[in-house]
Amino acid sequence: MSPSVYRGAQAWAIPIVLLAVWETSTRAGLLDPRFFPVLSDILVTAVDQLVNGRLGLDLVLTLQRLMMAFALAAVLGVAIGVASGRWRTVELLIRPITDTLYPLPKIALLPLFIIIFGRGEGAYVITAFATGFFQIIISTRGSVRDVPSDLIEAGRNFGATGTRFFTRLLFPAIAPGLLNGLRLGMATCLITLVAAEFVGAEYGLGAMIRRAGQQFAVEEVYAGIVLAGVLGLLINLAFRLVTPIVLPWQRPAQRAAGGQKV
């Protein structure tokens, strides 16, 4: 067996065994079906709800909120992160604010945002935005700091000043760290968004799980949780596909190492 096939086998053996055990033990009635529905039934429910039920609408709403929150967080977060990594005064100005708000659970701000923006889309988008925003500021700042100073010196001597400094020197230098930060930022956006929907929204993936829970629709609860996990995997996959396009000069081995970071 080639090493990569072997690694793949190692990565998937346990998950597949677990899924098989789940499927057979629930089919055989070893586990209480009220709490542990049959795996294939969960998948059937998920597909059925997506096609016929409200789940499709919920999912589209969640994705739409996620995109808005992430786009806003990425643009503002990278801008502020680069500024505070580059200039010490900016760093000192925003440091107390990021230090206080970064560890604050953003879900606790949901009531406040509902007061400000009303019960519309705004409150959920902003709650998710707030999570990704601080995450992206902090990781971008870190990548800017990690750029070796001799690289900056050399670049300046070769005439990378003004806007060229950012487009030709700084962004290529921080790109790997930046992409990793954006990936993490998008994942945290998703986590907070679904949690916020669970707590206080009428529609959306999180709200659907809450609703199903109140109606004791166990299969739908599971279907929702599986979908949330799949969305998280899709984010990772998307960044893995985008990375070689944005960073053609990076060797695959380096890329894998960068992508593995949690």
Q: What is the binding site for another protein (CB under 8 A)? A: 7, 10-15, 18, 34-35, 89, 92-97, 99-112, 114-116, 142, 187, 190-192, 194-195, 198-200, 206, 209-210, 212-214, 216, 218, 221-222, 224-225, 228-229, 231-233, 235-236, 262
Cβ at position 167, least distance to another protein in Å: 27
Inter-residue contact 136 to 153 (CB < 8 Å): no
Pick 82 or 138: Cβ nearer another protein: 138
Q: What angle do CA 232, 238, 241 make, to 5 degrees?
A: 145
Q: How far apart are the first and last CA of the chain?
A: 29
User: In terms of CB distance, is 179 or 191 closer to another protein?
Assistant: 191
CB of 198 to another protein, least distance (A): 6
**Distance separating alpha carbons of residues 212 and 224, to the nearest angstrom:** 9
Amino acid at position 146, single letter: D
| 22/19 Cα distance (integer angstroms) | 5
Q: Considering the complex, state which of residue 103 and residue 248 has its C-beta at the smaller distance from another protein.
A: 103
Looking at the Cβ atoms of 76 and 199, the one nearer to another protein is: 199
Question: Least CB distance from residue 48 to another protein, whole Å?
Answer: 20
To another protein, the closest distance from the beta carbon of 4 in angstroms equals 12
CA angle, corner 49, sides to 46 and 51, nearest 5?
105
Least distance CB 11 / another protein (angstroms): 5
Which CB atom, from 56 or from 105, has the smaller least distance to another protein? 105
Report H helices in 28-54: 39-51
Q: What distances in angstroms separate CA 134 from CA 73, 95, 104, 160, 191, one per listed residue?
A: 8, 11, 10, 29, 14
Q: Considering the complex, what minimum distance in angstroms separates the CB of residue 241 from another protein?
A: 17
Separation of alpha carbons 262 and 260, rounded Å: 6
Query: Considering beta carbons, is residue 127 or 155 the nearer one to another protein?
Result: 127
